[in-house]
C-alpha cells in the first residue's frame, strides 16, 4: 500500500521557532504487550535525506524492517535505547514507565538534544525536556520513523532471546503481545518472570489470579494501566 514518506517539516519548524539545533525523534514499542519491557528509542538524524522506504515500523515487513534497522543505525547521527522493566511498569504504571524509558534513552545520547519530537498526542515526557508531540509522527517525521524502526527491531530481538527459555509462549513470534499461543501457555503454565503482573489478563486466569499485583494511588484508589488488553478480545 503506497504511503507518503516522512519529512523534516516538524524538525525545521522547531529549529525556526525555538532555535533548537539538536532534535531527537522519540518512539516507543511494547506499550500493549503482556510480557517484556517497554522500549523507547531516541534518534537524532539532522536534515539529511533518509534511507529509501523509511516509515512507521508497523507498516514494514519483518524482513524489510530488520534490514532497514541495520542501515539506520549507521545512518543516524546518534541513537540510544531506554527500557522500563515489567516490574517498573507494575510499580509505576505505564505513563511513568514510558517516561523512565524515554529519559534513559535521551540521557544515553552522546549530546543532549535541545528539543524532542514525541510520537502521539500525549506528552509523557514533560519538563525539563522541550517536547513537540506529533500524532502519527512515526509516519510523518524522519527522526521519529527512524526511532520507531530501531526500537521495534531491538525489542523484538530481546523477546526472541527470552523465547529460548520460554518456548511455549511464542515470544519470538508475538514479542510478548497476546496471541493464541501466548494465551494458551499462560493458562497452562502461568506468567513468567517477564510478565506484567498488574495487567487485566490475570483476571481471566483463576489459577494464577493470586499473583496479580495491585498498585494503589496515594488516595487509596487503584489506577488503570494505560494501554493494556484483557484476556478476551
DSSP letter, residue 226:
T
Residue 1, pLDDT score = 52
Annotated binding residue 168:
no
Q: Name the stretches of the chain with pLDDT < 70.
A: 1-2, 216-233
Answer yes or no: are the C-beta atoms of 122 and 133 closer than 8 Å: yes
Residue 218, pLDDT score = 42
* Nearest C-alpha neighbor of 36 from the set 161, 144, 122: 161
Annotated binding residue 119:
yes
Annotated binding residue 56:
no
Residue 4, pLDDT score = 85
3-state SS of 122-177 is CCCCCCCCCEEEECCHHHHEHHHHHHHHHHHHHHHHHHHHHCCCCHHHCHHHHCCC
Please name every residue paired with 46 in a beta bridge, in sequence order, or none if there are none.
Answer: none
Amino acid at each position: 500500500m503506497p504511503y507518503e514518506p516522512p519529512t523534516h517539516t516538524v524538525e525545521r519548524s522547531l529549529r525556526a521557532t525555538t532555535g533548537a539545533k539538536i532534535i531527537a525523534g522519540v518512539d516507543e514499542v511494547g506499550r500493549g504487550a503482556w510480557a517484556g519491557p517497554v522500549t523507547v528509542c531516541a534518534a537524532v538524524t539532522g536534515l539529511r535525506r533518509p534511507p529509501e522506504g523509511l516509515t512507521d515500523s508497523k507498516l514494514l515487513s519483518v524482513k524489510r524492517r530488520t534490514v532497514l534497522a541495520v542501515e539506520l543505525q549507521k545512518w543516524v547521527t546518534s541513537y540510544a535505547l531506554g527500557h522500563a522493566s515489567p516490574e517498573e511498569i507494575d510499580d509505576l504504571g505505564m505513563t511513568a514507565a514510558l517516561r523512565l524509558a524515554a529519559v534513559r534513552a535521551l540521557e544515553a545520547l552522546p549530546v543532549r538534544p535541545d528539543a524532542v519530537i514525541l510520537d502521539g498526542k500525549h506528552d509523557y515526557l514533560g519538563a525539563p525536556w522541550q517536547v513537540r508531540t506529533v500524532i502519527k509522527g512515526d509516519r510523518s517525521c524522519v527522526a521519529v520513523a527512524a526511532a520507531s524502526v530501531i526500537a521495534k527491531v531491538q525489542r523484538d530481538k530481546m523477546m526472541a532471546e527470552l523465547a529460548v527459555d520460554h518456548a511455549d509462549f511464542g515470544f519470538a513470534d508475538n514479542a510478548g503481545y497476546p496471541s493464541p499461543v501466548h494465551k494458551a501457555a499462560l493458562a497452562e503454565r502461568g506468567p513468567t518472570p517477564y510478565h506484567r503482573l498488574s495487567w487485566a489478563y490475570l483476571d481471566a486466569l483463576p489459577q494464577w489470579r493470586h499473583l496479580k499485583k495491585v498498585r494503589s494511588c496515594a488516595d487509596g484508589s487503584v489506577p488503570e494501566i494505560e494501554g493494556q488488553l484483557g484476556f478476551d478480545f
